[in-house]
Amino acid sequence: MIKLVMPMKRRPGMTIPEFRDYYETKHRVIGEKYLKGYAAKYMRRFTNPTVDRDGELRDPEYDVFLEIWYPDQATMEACGKALSQPEVQQEIREDEEKIFDMRFMRSYTVDESISDLG
C-alpha cells in the first residue's frame, strides 16, 4: 500500500466550519470523481485545536490531513497521469484556490512504523 499524505491549511478569511463544510460538500466530490478506480481510500483527518502546553489555544497550522491510499506504485503513477490532464488540473486548481492557502500545500508519501503496546 502506498500512502500519500497532504497537510493543508484553509485560505485566509475562511472559518473552520466554512472550511469543513466546503471541503465535505464540494471539494471532496471532485476528489472522489478523479480518484475513483485508482485509490483504495480517500480520507480527510480534520484537526481540532487543543490548548498548548503554555495554556494557549492557537489556530491550527494545518486544518486537514488528506490521505490517499493506493494499492501499489503503478496505480499511484497511473492516477498521477490522469490527474495531470489539463482540464482535470484546471478544475482541481480552481477549486483548491477557493478553499486552501496554497502557500502551505505539501505532499508526502509515508512509511509507517507501528508499536506493539500489547
Query: Is 115 a member of any domain?
Result: no
pLDDT at 58: 83
Grid-cell match 471539494, residue found: 27
pTM of the predicted model as reported, rounded to 2 decimal places: 0.89
Q: What is the DSSP string of 22-67?
A: HIIIIIHHHHHHHHTTT-SEEEEEE------TTS-----S-SEEEE
Query: Is 21 a member of any domain?
Result: yes
Query: Is 117 a member of any domain?
Result: no
pLDDT tens-digit readout, 25-48: 999 999 999 999 999 999 999 999
Query: Is 87 a member of any domain?
Result: yes
**CATH assignment at residue 73:** 3.30.70.100
pLDDT tens-digit readout, 59-79: 889 999 999 999 999 999 999
Question: What is the spatial distance between Cα 106 and Cα 43, in angstroms, rounded to a whole number?
Answer: 16
Query: Is 118 a member of any domain?
Result: no
Edge-to-edge strand list for the sheet holding 41-46: 41-46, 64-70, 2-8, 108-110
Query: Is 9 a member of any domain?
Result: yes
- The residue range of the domain holding 28 is 2-50+59-110
Domain count, the chain: 1
In the predicted structure, residue 52 carries a pLDDT above the cut 90: no
**CA nearest 38: which of 88, 84, 79?**
79
